[in-house]
Amino acid sequence: MAGDSLSRYLTWAVNNISSTRRDNSDRYRQFVVLDHAFEVAFQNLSDFGEDSLFAPLLTRSWFSFRGTCMMAMSGQAAEAYVLMRGCLEGALYALHIDINPELRMVWLNRDRDVESRKVCQNRFKHRGVAKSLEAKSQWLYEIMSQLYEQTIDQGAHPNKRSVTDGLEVDEDIENKTLSFRFVVGGPDEISKAWKTASHVGACALHILQLVRPDYFKRLGIDTMIDSVTKEI
């Protein structure tokens, strides 16, 4: 099976990760700092009780960020934005539930029955979740909104730009052939995905910091976030 198309694709992706990490050391260092900030927060989650949803939602945001780094570094720019959206949403849900404690059981009971699912979907619509952030921080809300819309445009939804930006069409009228070749990501798309990944990781951490500011300060996570924020 080593010669199958999927194996070749995966080998190509792994090789890209190695080469881009070497050739983009400054950007990769930002990824490392942001990942470490998530990791420090994760390692101390025992500080919170079992009833807290902060721990699992922070973890979901963190691993979406890690997936973002992997996709962006491998050259799969459009796919990276799908995970960037997940990174932001994990942090937003943590804040939304913290501000509205009654939503904890709404979220946990989502799969209980059809009615519970509808209630959860209504209470966790992006507009409502985003308003919780707006109530806490106007400047962070504006940054998050721009990033969120960018993820939608660039790959989190199969919108025009996420599809056509990676499409090349070769026509041969004489031989009556029309071929389509999907390009994973050109230099411009990949560079943009890398930069956006840093913005998204920092933004998600800033949102999580709003939920537990003393916790982030005590562990020095706030300093890690700020060190990257100043560079991007």
Q: Give the Cα-Cα-Cα angle 56, 28, 206 (nearest 5 degrees).
A: 40
Residue 151 lies in a domain: yes
List Cα–Cα distances, 217 to 12, 46, 151, 189, in angstroms: 41, 17, 29, 35
DSSP annotation of 157 reads S
Residue 24 lies in a domain: yes
Are 209 and 222 a contacting pair, CB within 8 Å?
yes
Residue 8 lies in a domain: no
Residue 105 lies in a domain: yes
Q: Which helix (H) or strand (E) holds 182?
A: strand 177-182
Residue 5 lies in a domain: no
Residue 7 lies in a domain: no
Residue 11 lies in a domain: no
Which residue range forms the structural domain that includes residue 125? 17-229
Q: Quote the number of domains for the chain.
A: 1
Q: Residue-wise pLDDT tens for the chain (232 aa)?
A: 567 999 999 999 999 999 988 888 899 999 999 999 999 999 988 766 655 799 999 999 999 999 999 999 998 989 999 999 999 999 999 999 999 999 999 999 999 999 999 999 999 999 999 999 999 999 999 999 999 999 999 876 676 665 666 555 555 556 655 444 455 556 788 889 999 999 999 999 999 999 999 999 999 999 999 999 998 8
Give the 3-state secondary structure percentages of the chain, helix then strand then coil, rounded to 5.
Answer: 75, 5, 20
pTM of the model: 0.88
Residue 6 lies in a domain: no
